[in-house]
Amino acid sequence: MKKVNLLLVCFLAVNFFSCSSDDDSSAKNNDAEINAQENEPLEINNVSSALIIEGATKKTGSITPTGGLEFTMDYSKQSAFQKNGFEIEFNSASDYTGAYIQLKDENGMADSYFDIPRSEISISGKGEQTKKNRSFLKGKSAGKENDATIEVNLEESVTAGTFCYLICLYDGEGNISEPTEVCVTVEAWGGKSDLVGSWKFTKEIADNEEIKVNEEDCSTFDYTLCNEEVIVDECSTVNFLNLKFNSDGTFNYQNSFSEKNINWNNSDEACDVIYDEEDTSADKSGKWAYNEEDNKLTLVVFSETETYDGEEESYVFENGALDLEGTITISGSTLIIKELFENVGLEDDIYEYYFEKE
């Protein structure tokens, strides 16, 4: 009898590990298939017809550069996301009037190009919020100073794959700069099976300071109130943040924050520090993408319900709103998302968010 039980245990153990191995292999194969879609060249005229650039005029023909204008771009490859699209960022000291953008592939140029007037090109470093300058927990962060940004959205017909574009600047004197070429990868949704599941936020590390969930994160500063120096403590607390990744590339997360901020008007009137205490929560849904080359996770939100002091508001983002871009580390049941913001002339801001799998 003991021999039979021993054989049965051995059989079950072998079968368990075999099934587990098969599941892992199937998930990895699925990841590989999803990521392989991103390497497929897209037909440039189809993509050109599906680009959405606000304020741009589409013209037939090709661009003929003359030189005489200069600009710089610090990248030659970039990612785009289905519907959400991508941003074209450049820096120029020239007095330009607008920009031309035309798609290309190994066979030549697209049949038409885009003419974007300067009035439709935003300049960062002045507090504007673009697709990529919001910290996951910390709010807004300005972009690089003097970077010009052209926002490009995609129609639903654009799937995962690759294409390239040329960009030139032009001025009112007939000068057209030499072109810069950038190749774009439209990311597939999903692509990292290890992420699939539910994750609970546990802590954040920023500036070598660890702030745990349900722990106050405070900033202290001096303020002159009725001719007297007072100390002000403004604090925020992450009550919870739950994040769920699904295998179909969708995600959902709920969060709750508490904040204590000085009420400037009431404090000035009372000659005493008076705080407003507010609670907010959000339920967001969207799609996630994983860039295997850069080990980067991106969350694109398409709908959100926010509750602010008991009042609820819902939003739908037709083209999606970029909510997070960060590199990831998965170790056992721990997920670490690292978000980085570049600051011109200053140290970069780095935030690390820690989650435990449920």
DSSP structure string for 142-200: ---TTEEEEEEEE-TT--SEEEEEEEEEE-TTS-BPPPEEEEEEEEPSB--GGG-EEEE
Give the residue carrying structure tokens 């013209």. 59
Q: What is the pLDDT of residue 135?
A: 53
Alpha-carbon radius of gyration of the chain:
25
Q: What is the pTM for the complete model shown?
A: 0.84
Q: What is the pLDDT of residue 147?
A: 81
Dihedral (Cα; 262, 339, 284, 155), 10-degree rounding = 130
Give the residue carrying structure tokens 């904040």. 259
Which of 258, 260, 199 minimizes the C-alpha distance to 234? 260
- CA gap 94, 97 in Å, rounded: 9
Would you give the DSSP letter of residue 30?
H
The tens place of each residue's pLDDT in the chain, 358 residues long, gives 344 454 444 444 445 445 555 666 777 778 988 889 999 999 999 999 999 999 999 999 999 999 989 999 999 999 999 999 999 999 987 799 999 999 999 899 999 999 999 999 988 654 344 444 345 665 544 445 558 999 999 999 999 999 999 999 999 999 999 999 999 999 999 999 999 999 999 999 998 899 999 999 999 999 999 999 999 999 999 999 999 999 999 999 999 999 999 999 999 999 999 999 999 999 999 999 999 999 999 999 999 999 998 899 999 999 999 999 999 999 999 999 999 887 766 788 899 999 999 9
User: Going from the N-terminus, what domains does the chain have, and what CATH number goes with each?
Assistant: 44-187 (2.60.40.10), 193-357 (no CATH)
